[in-house]
């Protein structure tokens, strides 16, 4: 699949990050390799969501969130994508819509 094709989930096209996982059909996350981040001490993954407004997967960092647990993934507080209002929690390795 081509890098520019964002119609498929990131688990199918994001091979430059480690451990890309699907939390829900429209939410995924991946761990950025230290050599690709401006802050290698940031423990948080990046997230993608399927943005119905844009018709593609949109990435978002979570630098102001607290990593409670890496396995199973638990992050506080909730995540919000202002582009379309997708909002929810990541707890116990699952996406919980808010």
Percentage of the chain beyond pLDDT 90 is: 43
For residue 7, is pLDDT > 60? yes
CA distances from 44 to 34, 41, 47, 52, 56 (A): 11, 9, 9, 25, 23
d(CA 84, CA 80) in angstroms, rounded, equals 9
What pTM value is reported for the model?
0.80
Residue 33: CA count within 13 A, CB half-sphere: 7
16-42 pLDDT, tens per residue? 666 788 899 899 998 877 777 666 666
């Amino acid at each position: 699949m081509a890098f520019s094709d964002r119609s498929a989930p990131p688990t199918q096209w994001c091979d430059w990050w480690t451990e890309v996982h699907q939390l829900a059909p429209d939410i995924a996350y991946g761990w950025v390799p230290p050599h690709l981040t401006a802050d290698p001490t940031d423990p948080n993954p990046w997230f993608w969501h399927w943005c119905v407004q844009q018709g593609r997967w949109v990435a978002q960092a979570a630098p102001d969130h607290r990593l409670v647990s890496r396995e199973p993934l638990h992050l506080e507080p909730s995540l919000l994508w202002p582009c379309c209002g997708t909002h929810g929690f990541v707890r116990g390795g699952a996406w919980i819509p808010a």
